[in-house]
Amino acid sequence: MVAKKKALGRGLGALIDDAKYEKRPVEEAVSTSAIAEIDISKIETNPFQPRKEFDQEALQELAESIKELGIIQPITVKKVSEDKFQLISGERRFRASKIAGLKKIIAFVRDANDQGLLEMALVENIQREDLNSIEIAVTYQRLMDECQLTQEKLSERIGKKRATIANYLRLLKLPAEIQVGVRDKRISMGHAKALINIENPDAQLKVFYKIINEGLSVRGVEALVREIKFPVNKEKTKAAKFELPKQYLDIRDTLKKQLSTKVDLKRSENGKGSITIAFNSEDEFNRITEILLKGAK
């Protein structure tokens, strides 16, 4: 019986594809779905790669897997000259293969112009890489700016709801300090989405540091944002509650004396209001209602 291979580390399973690829000469592979085996030394990295930093520990883990299993999922390259290729997608696999000491690597060879190259690299990263929220937002923006895509077209291209794309793009309107905080996972995207609703950048930063220093939850931040956005309405409510005309205050005090209990009288600016009479027992209720009913006769 053949021993079962040990399970791969988290994320590596996504690289495994049971399909078998037929290797062909480079020139033939350009126009077919086949792959070619290319000297790693002839491949240059993609200048449009949105991810600039790679986790070295994760790359080493992937390199060990490649030593054991080989490259299961080919990288994708563009032929730029007779002995030179440019990476379109699969930079993690490419880097890990170099760490693993491979001299050759299997690759799909595509004919793509620079815009196509950029779009293919960015879309692949959005769909496969563990990008943080800011990297995703930057990638969406680059796709729109450099590939002339509207939010609607981008939504169709990557299979994401337009509202989702819009939410990510809004993160780029936050101050740089907050964007770095999201990137470094000091705050979550939920926190950031709440901060977007504050218009003043200084106020955004004040709440940002409050989140970090006090460990506020997303709901806590949302409540704080509401207080910042609607302070006038809150003050009006307080004013309406306490600033009663003198005649209302006199009536309230008279009722308190006559009924020998707490009476609360509220009135809004448009004249609407309420009178609340408190009682603490059934006997007290009967006593108060008897006084009121006598007065009504």
| Residues with a known catalytic role | 91
> Is 240 within 8 Å of 268 (Cβ atoms)?
yes
> Is 92 within 8 Å of 106 (Cβ atoms)?
no
The dihedral built from the CA positions of residue 178, 184, 185 and 188, taken in this order, carries a sign that is positive
List, in order, residues 6 or more apart from 21 with CB less than 8 Å away. 34, 35, 74, 106
Task: Phi first, then psi: give them for residue 238, nearest 5 degrees.
Answer: -65, -45
- The angle at the Cα of 32, spanning 26 to 36, to the nearest 5 degrees, equals 30
d(CA 31, CA 41): 23
d(CA 206, CA 235): 22
- For residue 115, what are the CA distances in angstroms to 18, 133, 143? 31, 24, 10
The dihedral built from the CA positions of residue 221, 223, 225 and 228, taken in this order, carries a sign that is negative
Neighbours of 208 (CB within 10 A): 23
Report the candidate in 57, 39, 51, 134 with the shortest Cα–Cα distance to residue 89. Answer: 51
d(CA 128, CA 278): 64
Residues written for the chain: 297
- What are the tokens at 123? 């879309």
d(CA 280, CA 284): 6
